[in-house]
Structure 1
Amino acid sequence: MDGVLRIIDANLNRLREGLRVIEDTIRFINDDRESTLVLKDARHTLENLVNELPGGYMALLKSRDSAGDVGAGLNTDSEMTRRTHGEILTANFKRAQEAARVLEEYGKIFSVEQAVEIKKIRFLLYGLEKELIPAHDNNTSSQ
């Protein structure tokens, strides 16, 4: 079960981080209060789901093995190159959507209801991405 908890922990972190980057970009660059609140609510929903896991946050923390993670130092060139806030938004929308999908699948092990909540966040992100990515930056989907 530690492997499953490591997957959940890594993807919760990935989803939280992606949501925060999107939220801060929308808040400070776009000055979009409504979308900022939607993203903040999604982050808080995620935190509530963590607390509902067996053992909660502490179980995830105990399963974490950052030092032994074979993928921790792997980066692609595109990950290290961002020229516009549109590229940053696109990369983080994709990162968050992928993490949500993994959480949705592995969350079914613990709770179908939690998996449904994660799916709602994933589809929220799909909608916000379409709405918020500037048209001239829409062709950048690298991570």
Structure 2
Amino acid sequence: MNKSETSEKVARLIDANLNRLKEGIRVIEDINRYIYDDASLTSELKSLRHKLQIIYSQERLYFRDIENDVQKKSIESELKRSSVTDLVIANFSRAQESARVLEESFKLIDPVLSEIAKEVRYGLYGVEKKFFLKHSATEV
């Protein structure tokens, strides 16, 4: 793979993980907003999600290749959730993993953006702890 192909593949990797990260945060944010009526955690999550705007680049859309994504089909475990807590756990994991991929990927391009992804990842760790300390006894 030449340097141009590599940068295109990295752009695709960043695009996919930024989408996954923002979507995961949004699911948790909306659960805190609409199910738990938790203004504090909703606000923290919204702030983390908005922190990602500086990372967004319309140019990466050019490298998006949904049709040829080898993993776009869901596996069985992704199709089943038995509770809101399961949704929260799955989406915290999804978001944290994506933030880590972004953190590592941006080390190839822009260390400042790598640090932003790291800050978001650690922010998610903190919000996750707060969520489960507040809501672990209130299963929905």
TM-score w.r.t. length of structure 1: 0.86
Q: Which residue of 2 aligns with 1:135?
A: 136
- Matched AA of 2:24: G
**Alpha-carbon shift at residue 78 of structure 1 (Å):** 1.6
Distance 1:76 1:34 in 2: 34
Distance 2:83 2:129 in 1: 17
**Alpha-carbon shift at residue 32 of structure 1 (Å):** 0.9
Task: Say how many residue pairs are matched.
Answer: 131
Identity %: 43
**Alpha-carbon shift at residue 136 of structure 1 (Å):** 5.8
Q: Which residue of 1 aligns with 2:18?
A: 12
Query: Structure 2 regions of 5+ residues with no counterpart?
Result: 1-6
On the 8 A contact 2:29/2:42 being kept in 1, the answer is yes
- After superposition, the C-alpha distances for 1:35-84 in whole angstroms (9 at most, x for unaligned) are 1111111111101222xxxxx22x210000000111112x2222111111
Q: Which residue of 2 aligns with 1:116?
A: 115
- Matched AA of 1:48: I
Matched, 1:48 2:54: yes
Matched, 1:2 2:1: no
- Matched AA of 1:39: L
SS at structure 1 position matched to 2:65: coil
**Alpha-carbon shift at residue 18 of structure 1 (Å):** 0.1
**Alpha-carbon shift at residue 10 of structure 1 (Å):** 0.5
Distance 2:78 2:70 in 1: 18
Distance 1:114 1:36 in 2: 24
Q: Which residue of 1 aligns with 2:45?
A: 39
TM-score w.r.t. length of structure 2: 0.87
Q: Which residue of 2 aligns with 1:25?
A: 31
**Alpha-carbon shift at residue 27 of structure 1 (Å):** 0.7
Q: Which residue of 2 aligns with 1:66?
A: 66
Query: Structure 1 regions of 5+ residues with no counterpart?
Result: 51-55, 138-143
More displaced, 81-90 or 126-135? 126-135
Q: Which residue of 2 aligns with 1:141?
A: none
SS at structure 2 position matched to 1:67: coil
Distance 2:22 2:53 in 1: 9
Distance 1:136 1:78 in 2: 24
